[in-house]
Amino acid sequence: MKQLLIQNERLSRQIDFLIEIDRLKHVLRRTYLPGSDRHENSAEHSWHLALAALVLAEHSAAPVDVGHVLRLALVHDIVEIDAGDTFFYDATGGLDKAEREQRAADRLYGLLPPDQAAELRALWDEFEDRATPEAQLAYALDRFMPLLHNYLTEGRPWRQHGVGHEQVAAMTDHIAGGAAEVAALARALVADAQARGYFDPARNESNGA
């Protein structure tokens, strides 16, 4: 990216970081947007996840500071700029995911002034560790939102990547820890998807509507 020659060193680093993370808008996920042939990107997904946290926070298993959940949602995928998006059901890509993402976090958050680098890196670590109620809710919704998208697009990514009903049903356990009522809905969606044939490899491709 362009050198903006800002005299204020601190502001300069902050702007460099904001310019660099623009690239998250080009990181494509496996999900499709309902009613279109376009894949979702990780920046717009992060916005949608933050909105989900704002609207669904009352279903959290434990009381949460909503503003803090929003911070976790906003930063949770920034490492994908370097590390790429790893599909939840991709066992091979999952093997070196942690190492790739740690390197990415070092470089990307390292663009910021040191105090902010530490602050945003700590948010990402918190999301990954899932030890706080806020991280548990953010993680649960990060599992729920692609399920909702995949259901609305009639399971297209599941069939494209050979993901079976049992795998998605098992995944809903990750939602239950953060938001039981949302997990119950997720299970209903998986059961209905199965009944409608969304996991059937022989099904014609369609995007839903």
Interacting residues with a copy of itself (CB under 8 A)? 1-2, 4, 6, 8, 11, 14-15, 17-19, 21-22, 24-26, 33-34, 36, 40-41, 43-44, 46-48, 50-52, 54-56, 59, 65-68, 70-71, 74-75, 112, 116, 120, 145, 148-149, 152, 181-182, 185, 188-189, 208-209
Give the CA count within 13 Å in the CB-facing half-sphere of 130. 13
| Separation CA 100–CA 116 (nearest Å) | 22
Please name the residue ranges forming H helices in the chain: 9-20, 42-56, 66-75, 80-83, 91-95, 97-109, 114-129, 133-152, 156-160, 165-171, 173-176, 180-196
Q: How far is the CB of 47 from a copy of itself (least distance, A)?
A: 4
| Separation CA 80–CA 11 (nearest Å) | 24
The nearer residue to a copy of itself, 44 or 99, going by C-beta atoms, is: 44
Q: How far is the CB of 54 from a copy of itself (least distance, A)?
A: 7
The nearer residue to a copy of itself, 40 or 101, going by C-beta atoms, is: 40
Q: How far is the CB of 92 from a copy of itself (least distance, A)?
A: 29
